[in-house]
Structure 1
């Protein structure tokens, strides 16, 4: 995600968001232990965890991440695995200033006893480590005893599997699910459409962008904008495209992504938005209803609700709901990979596999995702409820939150995760997306023609990444 901030409060907010969906800023090391995990509620299930480490010598797992989120999970893991025989040595390097990837690359290449055994990658660069230049360092999950049946039995969203796979071999999975929904104001829905029911609103705004813009016109007649800025529709457009930016080694502009030029201009020309940019004070203001015109909604995953909107909606808390978007998409997420060399040591292999399984595939009552979904990571304390990778867990979890007026958000995010696609990504997306969105804004602002914006975009990609156009 792009990070443009205009005030110290915005910086603090974004720091918490990055901890939830990628990013971070502190370092620590912790120790304690890894044993056999219960795997699933049925001991005979094919999703049962691999055998844990039963050797007498304690295993050290080198864990690398860009926030303290995964390292903090080790505390809960050890508390729920009292017979564990492992210690975690954590390295945390923030993604700010591009520091994490070069350090991780160097550590992976160096190998040896200090090499990362488990490492994290966020959506912006997971393709590099799961499918791209650095993918050869990653172990196949199957070589750790983590099977396709485990993935199936946990109901892991296919987009997450596709992103974490290379040549049919799974190399990475996440614990979050970041399929996107449309998050809208109930009061504005009632005033415009006569109802705030999510099923009815779903049919007002979609499926498809024609229906969405019909809704935008109805909202405008009432004095409301449908979204805050054009960035709000970019993620659904980007992730619903048929092909990614690179096809056969050349820059490819998918027709659905090219359409962003026209849809963005339509939003601006008709006053359907407040012309904000995401991650700015004006964007946050529209969450609280204090922008230049009331804004109907935002596109995003559960983390946008939990870690961004939750601190910004102010008096509009409870006046929000979620429904299915006009098209499926995802935004963000963190994946776990294991170094291929862990398979050379049976004790380390078992310990690494057990922890990775507990985080990414364990759908039992004592699996990480059950605690994560229900906000029960800290015993006796109600924490943040979040969408997780396992649809089995979410189907049994309580996703009701006050911001949504008590709506169970998991009723929407389970199908949202299933409708997202992970087949249109490349390892260059973060850079190319930034260039594309800048050119689209130049066009919609009237600073250049449509053809000129496309031509300049192609040239910038060539100059920046040395990738020629089709």
Structure 2
């Protein structure tokens, strides 16, 4: 009976995955097929493609040891190839001899990835050794759906210790801590994802007379100042933001309470309504381009011909999405990530008007895995190693989940060519400790996306604000029948 109830909870919590977080749609083409990717047997005949020097290996160069009785197949469920690429570069050479690694990729269109997990996880204990899911990834917006279920394992049961976890940012552990008295940690992440405001240096010079990050930050230090610069940018023929969604996370991450109260009532926070009012004003005054997140028009606004002052982006977005979009000749066309190719080097970052975070990916062990020790070894090597984290951040310009490592890099001469020689890690170090996950709920992704979708109709002028709010409540309750409107709504 317990399994049927939990399976029903997972199914009822199924939600769209278009704007979830760490690069859900940044690299995946549309689709919902499930594939086995990179079936690799780590044997003595492994070719050079799996070998890396010590600077590229997670932790030491020692191989993991396969515990007696554990499986010879490691199945990892993901929604795109980001973690697979990292695994191949940093972890693959450490795998025990004779272990085959399969990446089960289900692209997250129309919630296909979560739907596949919800189908497979309840059956995982009974699955054959070669078919079991051993590890899977999830994102912040739907983390609690799996963390609070019986289908994920406490990471300490995998061999991780308090010492292993001690260097991580606390919020990355809060995301994956069960909301019961046990307070079990059910996942770990290699990254922290504080957000900044990334702006075009050339446009800042034209509008503000400077591209210096400290001076630009002074001009954008709060929302009143941000609005004033938006007006100045418009006078010069620029847009302050690309579209409706760009500023959403800065508001939704700073709410006073969760989406749903103890009476199962949907509460629209006053701070989210401030986003509505600002976005409507920006739309009506021409301060944005009316684009939607991940659309071709939104990506083009980040290109060399874009006329948008800046974008709210977290750690992964700057190096994983914005840098690529800035190029005149894309990498797939033979272009390089280098100064002189489009807008590469014409960007910088500042704190912006409000601290926030966006996205992140976590590793979790699936109940029923026959490779618990091996999963723990992967987690420890990739997520819990300060020295590895330093090299990883230098390699990728992502932001590793170790506070001491990032402080060390922030105080160094580390520079980003894409950001005109700026050390953006120094800014992330200041914002990361401010991330507060106390307001998250199992409903976040579905309600955030439904709210944004329904209010686009208001921004476009097809409905008024009251109708948009009414449509949101109705759609939200269809998605989550156990919820209701508050009595005063």
Deviations 1:327-381 (A, max 9, x none): 1222222110113455xx7xx43322111111221212xx3x3443122xxxxxx
The aligned residue for residue 40 of structure 1 is: none
Deviations 1:119-139 (A, max 9, x none): 1113343221123xxx21211
Aligned match for 1:374, one of 387, 394, 407: 394
Is structure 2 residue 109 aligned with structure 1 residue 96? yes
Map 1:29-178 to 2 at 5 A: 29-32=39-42, 53=65, 55=67, 59-60=71-72, 61-77=74-90, 81=94, 86-110=99-123, 111-112=125-126, 113=129, 114-131=131-148, 135-152=149-166, 154=167, 156-167=168-179, 168-178=183-193
Structure 2 CA distance for partners of 1:238 and 1:390, relative to 1, 3 Å: same
Map 1:16-415 to 2 at 5 A: 17-18=27-28, 26-28=35-37, 29-32=39-42, 53=65, 55=67, 59-60=71-72, 61-77=74-90, 81=94, 86-110=99-123, 111-112=125-126, 113=129, 114-131=131-148, 135-152=149-166, 154=167, 156-167=168-179, 168-206=183-221, 208-248=222-262, 249-288=264-303, 290-291=305-306, 294-313=307-326, 314=328, 315-341=342-368, 348-364=371-387, 367=388, 369-375=389-395, 384-397=396-409, 400-415=415-430
SS of structure 2 residue aligned to 1:121: strand
Q: Do 1:32 and 1:78's aligned partners in 2 also have CA atoms closer than 8 Å?
A: no
Return the alpha-carbon distance in structure 1 between the equivalents of residues 207 and 438 of structure 2.
37
Measured after TM superposition, the shift of residue 185 of structure 1 is 1.2
Q: Do 2:245 and 2:293's aligned partners in 1 also have CA atoms closer than 8 Å?
A: yes
Measured after TM superposition, the shift of residue 200 of structure 1 is 2.1
Measured after TM superposition, the shift of residue 116 of structure 1 is 1.8
Is structure 2 residue 460 aligned with structure 1 residue 464? no
Map 1:415-454 to 2 at 5 A: 415-454=430-469
Structure 2 CA distance for partners of 1:456 and 1:236, relative to 1, 3 Å: same
TM-score, with length taken from structure 2: 0.77
SS of structure 1 residue aligned to 2:76: strand
Structure 2 CA distance for partners of 1:63 and 1:95, relative to 1, 3 Å: same
Structure 2 CA distance for partners of 1:17 and 1:327, relative to 1, 3 Å: farther
TM-score, with length taken from structure 1: 0.80
Deviations 1:42-96 (A, max 9, x none): xxxxx99xx9646567743332222233344444455653777854344222223
Name structure 1 gaps, 5 residues minimum. 5-12, 34-46, 376-383
SS of structure 1 residue aligned to 2:27: helix
Measured after TM superposition, the shift of residue 269 of structure 1 is 2.6
Q: Do 2:134 and 2:372's aligned partners in 1 also have CA atoms closer than 8 Å?
A: no
Return the alpha-carbon distance in structure 2 between the equivalents of residues 25 and 221 of structure 1.
49
SS of structure 1 residue aligned to 2:41: coil
SS of structure 1 residue aligned to 2:118: helix
Q: Do 1:209 and 1:326's aligned partners in 2 also have CA atoms closer than 8 Å?
A: yes
Return the alpha-carbon distance in structure 2 between the equivalents of residues 282 and 89 of structure 1.
35
Structure 2 CA distance for partners of 1:162 and 1:269, relative to 1, 3 Å: same
Name structure 2 gaps, 5 residues minimum. 1-15, 44-58, 329-341
Measured after TM superposition, the shift of residue 3 of structure 1 is 5.0
